[in-house]
Amino acid sequence: MAMEKAFNAAEAEGRLFEAWEKAGCFKAGANAKPEASTYCIMIPPPNVTGVLHMGHAFNNTLQDILIRWKRMQGFDTLWQPGTDHAGIATQMVVERELAKNQQPSRAELGREKFLEKVWAWKEQSGGTIINQLKRLGSSCDFDRTAFTMAGAAGDTRTGHENSPNFHDAVIKVFVEMYNKGLIYRGKRLVNWDPHFETAISDLEVENIEVAGHMWHFKYPLAGGATYTYVEKDEDGNVTLEEVRDYISIATTRPETMLGDGAVAVHPDDARYAPIVGKLVEIPIVPKEHRRLIPIITDEYPDMNFGSGAVKITGAHDFNDYQVAKRGGIPMYRLMDTKGAMRADGAPYGEEAAKAQAHAKGAEFTEGEIDAINLVPEHLRGLDRFEARKAVVDEITSEGLAVMQTLTKTVKDDEGNETEVSEVVPMVENKPIMQPFGDRSKVVIEPMLTDQWFVDAEKVVGPALDAVKDGTVKILPESGEKTYYHWLENIEPWCISRQLWWGHQIPVWFGPQYDENRECIDMLGEMFCAANFEEAKTQAAQKYSEKFGYTVEVVEQLVPDQSVAERKEPMPTAQGIEGKGIVRIALSRDPDVLDTWFSSGLWPIGTLGWPEWGEDTSKYFPTSTLITGQDILFFWVARMMMMQLAVVDEIPFDTVYLHGLVRDAKGKKMSKSTGNVVDPLEIIDEYGADALRFTNAAMASLGGVLKLDMKRIEGYRNFVTKLWQASSYGDSQIDAFSAERGAEPPAATLPLNRWIIGEIAKVREEVDAAFDAFRFNDAANGLYAFFWNTFCARYLEFTKPIFFSEDQAAKDETQATYAWAIDQALILMHPIMPFVTEEIWNVTEGRGFETGEASKMLAHAPWPTYTAADLVDAEAEAEMSWVIAVIDNVRSARAEVNVPAGAKVPMVVTQIDAQGQEYWDRNEALIKRFARIDSLTAVDEAPKGCIAIAAPGASFGLPLAEIIDVAKEKARLEKNLGKLAKELGGLRGRLKNPKFAASAPPEVVAEARENLAAREEEEAKISEALARISEIA
């Protein structure tokens, strides 16, 4: 059967993938040997809204390589696919979709209807990325495709995915962690996205450097107090001394001044020492209501930055929050959920008075503090950026901006230049790091809100220990250091999101009463349970115990502000129908969980937990996790913490971390830069195998991933090379008609015995590389073997055999060639599944006709032969000698410009018995590839002969009349130069007595052998040089 001229990837890939799936090649346990160990990889679930990008392509290539390799080895494999519900991203996509189709908005629809829309969208479009994974050749068990929201309220399908219990698992874990005190609720400063109106995780914040301004304002000392401000240079000389009645503050966010709680200076800062503890006035809002705040000391301010004094706004800045917590400084929330200045509450005067009372020590509850609105009337409701302008203008017009004198040159109408000085407010233009929501692209606002937190410090221990004691390995090793560093400094993890799409927090709030049945807080009691029934039972019990009534609990869906403010007293039993029953309403927390909370359970949740099924016992803990180092903290570490906290087991034993895929120059791929490479376009143009091979070749441990089109093209050429070599075996030498199996054929010819040994060496190399996650070593080893050894040598060397009449040699070589190609296909299949499977099937004796998995390369047994089994040292020595002679002749010819096409005679002046034997057996081969037409034995090389040195032999090309003697002389001298350098090194080492004494014996022996060989070569070339010099 004649093969096509080249592999048609575009045509073949879909067809092959379908055949694999139809045959069930990728099902869990497919091709497993009896009693096989398991090998399981959990895919890092891409967002259900996602499309395949280069990062996915890279990441999944590596996973697929390992899974295919283990599957061929007969492990019981499972590669678990699935998608992440991706809270914000999905909610945004659906909202946008609604807007595009002029449908009612999220707010108009309400929660339930909106969620119906999201589920419908998920059904329709959620499979995109899964199908794209198939184009890459990913051999996941797609029948088990899981989803992190599967089983949650509204899921339109059940049982279709292997994670019907995923929601149950998430809820169970929340309840358990709550009951163990690992999850708590509290008011903390969090990253707030004013567009989506939710708290978000650190991962969802992008810090971007933008052009910003730094304003300098004066905070007057209370009561007109003054002090002497002294500045000194490094040597202690006074450079400035003046009496001031203010402290100068620098800020990039003037609008937050309204919420200042203090001004902080460094404890070592002598400039401000006289006024520490004094009060200053916040220079904004109507004079009569201005608040006074203290000057405090804290390590946080940098004495050398700005004025060295900073304002502390605990509710709107993360650094200030820490300072405020340390110093007991009050924090006042200034903005609403949309990032506008608050418009609620009492007139400013009243609110400011409350704040002042609070600052003086009056008792306030957390809720009462939060209710204080310190935004003056004229700024209420303004967007935060408009408010900033207004604040700056007000302060400046009052003369409290720090001023500076600018001198500039102006030209009048006649062109005369004059210098004009003006005094302007001091505003520095400087780049500042600003946080943006990665989805919303709006500036993130630190916001003090009630949120749920995982007390990470309490669960971090086992996760740290598992890596420290080597139970879990992180590659590259530097990842372990990063892991330790983060876990050892872990912060509470904010897990609540003010979204609708996600796992709703299983906590119901109920009213809290004091002993007198007066309501303290309508939402003050919390009942955490897997479902409402259990929460009801808990609540009924609690209230009954407290008040001795039978309590009937009813749910009220939305715990809005009006509920919180009602403060109805505890109803008495007589109050309701005189039956001794009271009704109390519970309302469920409307918030949902951080997506990372649920994906933290991905390994165990997809395996059926909380039920311990057969799959759970079999595949959990899983084996290898391959993921980007950017989510080491957000996902990997959390999986470790959560699995260990919940079932006391590690989730996987090895983590392989890789970097970001960048463009050829090392730049991040981004839409705005326009350097995004679409993996699907690459697959269309070059084929999935070329992309996969490139990915494997790039994947050095800890390496930077720069995707160069030239490289992809090169590996596409490699695919062609493989195809051509197979085609040669097919049409030129009819190799595939030979009977062949897994065992190498019984070969007698050194050529065949040699290539069999070379295959065994590559097999060991590839296995060692995969074992160590050194994908690049495997790829490079296969590439070099196949191109340089198999094609450039072995394939060429089979030609003289097939042009001869030696039928036995032909038969043996056909069988060996076919076996060698088979082995190459097997070894390359994990990296390049498509082209290898296609060749496997189009070559004679195989095919997809039956559609059976056992006939497919994907299930071919992985070889276990070793170099020790198959390498024939004699055959290897012989072939190296042959190759050395050919290469030396070719090199010499090219350098002295013997026409490449010309066949020339050769003489031999000296040859040992071994060499003679090699020559006799390989004469046709050497003559063909060195382009020699005859060999004559002579006593002495003719004058002007080109010298060819080979181990144990001296040849010459008697071409004095056609070659350039000067060039030959130069060639020999160059060779001698190279040898001299090598010899110098070797002799130097061997002469040093300490070398022989200290170096391992095999190193010394190798150096000796090397020296002998180099000396022999040097002698031959020197002799040739002397001879050629006679005629020059």
Return residues touching RNA (CB under 7 A): 6, 202-203, 207, 318-319, 433, 477-478, 481-482, 485, 630, 664-666, 668, 700-704, 706, 708, 710-711, 714, 716-717, 719-721, 724-725, 727-728, 732, 774, 776-777, 780, 783-784, 787-788, 791-792, 795-796, 799, 803, 887, 890-891, 894-895, 899-901, 974, 985, 989, 992, 994-995, 998-1000, 1003, 1006
Report d(CA 12, CA 5) in Å as an integer: 14
Q: What are phi and psi of 900, to 5 degrees?
A: -60, -35
Alpha carbon distances (Å) from 931 to 391, 778, 893? 89, 35, 10
Shorter beta-carbon distance to RNA: residue 616 or 737:
737
* Buried-exposed string 807-817: b where 16+ CB fall within 10 A, e elsewhere: eebbebbbbbb
Identify residue 649 by its one-letter amino acid code: E
| Minimum distance, C-beta of residue 629 to RNA, in the bound complex (Å) | 8
Asked if 826 and 863 touch (Cβ cutoff 8 Å), the reply is yes
Residue closer to RNA, measured from CB, 372 or 697: 697
- Of the pair 258, 779, the CB lying nearest RNA is at 779
Would you call 506 exposed, middle or buried from its count of C-beta atoms within 10 A (0-12, 13-18, 19+)?
Answer: buried
Closest approach of RNA to the CB of residue 711, in Å: 6
H or E element in which residue 433 lies: strand 427-437
Least distance (Å) from RNA to the CB of residue 201?
A: 10
Q: Which is nearer to RNA, 300 or 364 (by Cβ)?
A: 300
Q: What angle is formed at CA 695 by the lines to CA 692 and CA 699, rounded to 5 degrees?
A: 145
- The minimum distance between CB 759 and RNA, in angstroms, equals 17
Quick one: 9 or 641, whose CB is closer to RNA? 9
* Residue 685 φ then ψ, to 5°: -85, -45
Q: In this complex, which beta carbon is closest to RNA, that of residue 410 or of residue 900? A: 900
Structure tokens at 45: 């679930």
Cβ neighbors of 479 (< 8 A, separation 6 or more) are 629, 632, 655, 657
Is the distance from CB of 791 to CB of 897 less than 8 angstroms? Answer: no
Given a contact cutoff of 8 angstroms between Cβ atoms, the answer to whether 1004 and 995 are in contact is yes
Which is closer to RNA, CB of 164 or CB of 301? 301
Tokens at 464, concatenated: 């740290």
Q: CB-wise, 157 or 974, nearer to RNA? A: 974
Report how far residue 975's alpha carbon sits from residue 895's, in angstroms, rounded to the nearest whole number. Answer: 12
Measured from the CB of residue 981, what is the shortest distance to RNA in angstroms?
8
Q: Smallest distance, Å, CB 932 to RNA?
A: 12
Q: Which residues have a Cβ under 8 Å from the Cβ of 305 and sit 6 or more positions away?
A: 250
Residue nearer to RNA on the CB measure, 203 or 353: 203
Shortest distance in whole angstroms from residue 984 CB to RNA: 9
Least distance in Å: CB of 891 to RNA? 4
The tokens for 425 are 């407010």
Min dist CB 1031 to RNA, Å, is 23
d(CA 912, CA 920): 12
Cβ-proximal residues to 241 (8 Å cutoff; 6+ apart), any chain: 228, 229, 230, 231
User: Strands 417-425 and 403-411: what pairing?
Assistant: antiparallel
Indicate the residue among 717 and 850 with the shorter CB distance to RNA.
717
Question: H helices of 469-548, where?
Answer: 478-488, 532-547
| Nearer to RNA among residue 9 and residue 372 (C-beta) | 9
The dihedral over CA atoms of 838, 843, 848, 850, expressed in degrees to the nearest 10, equals -160
Handedness of CA 253, 254, 257, 259 (dihedral sign): negative
Shortest CB 322 distance to RNA, Å? 8
Q: In this complex, which beta carbon is closest to RNA, that of residue 394 or of residue 758?
A: 758
Interacting residues of 204 by C-beta distance below 8 A, sequence separation 6+: 88, 191, 193, 437, 438, 439
Task: Compute the least distance from the CB of residue 373 to RNA, in Å.
Answer: 28
Which 3 state secondary structure label does DSSP give 305? coil
Which CB atom, from 121 or from 787, has the smaller least distance to RNA? 787
| Cβ–Cβ < 8 Å for 463, 487 | yes
Q: How far is Cα 132 from Cα 624, in angstroms, rounded to an integer?
A: 22
**Cβ closest to RNA, residue 81 vs residue 479:** 479
Report the nearest approach of RNA to the CB of residue 325 (Å): 13
The least CB distance from residue 717 to RNA, in Å, is 3
Q: How many CA atoms lie within 13 A of 683 on its CB side?
A: 25
Residue 689 near residue 832, CB atoms below 8 Å: yes
Residue type, 39: Y
CB-CB contact of 446 with 317 (8 Å)? yes
Could you tell me if 502 and 89 are in contact, meaning their C-beta atoms sit under 8 angstroms apart? Answer: no
Between residues 269 and 895, which has the closer beta carbon with respect to RNA?
A: 895
656 has which bridge partners?
Answer: 475, 626
CB 227 within 8 A of CB 244: yes
Task: Tell me how far apart the alpha carbons of residues 353 and 286 are, in angstroms, rounded to a whole number.
Answer: 13
CB of residue 949 to RNA, shortest distance in Å: 13
Q: Which one, 644 or 733, has the nearer CB to RNA? A: 733
Smaller CB separation from RNA, 109 or 1004: 1004
Contact in structure between 677 and 453 (CB atoms under 8 Å): no
> Minimum CB separation from RNA for residue 795, in Å?
5
Given phi > 0 = left and psi -120 to 50 = alpha, else beta, which region is 276? beta
Is 634 strand, coil or helix? helix
Find the shortest distance in angstroms from Cβ 429 to RNA. 18
Q: How far is the CB of 270 from RNA (least distance, A)?
A: 21
Min CB(1015)–RNA separation in Å = 16
Nearer to RNA, 524 or 951 (CB): 951
595 residue type, one letter: T
SS (H, E, C) 585-601: EEEECCCEECHHHHHCC
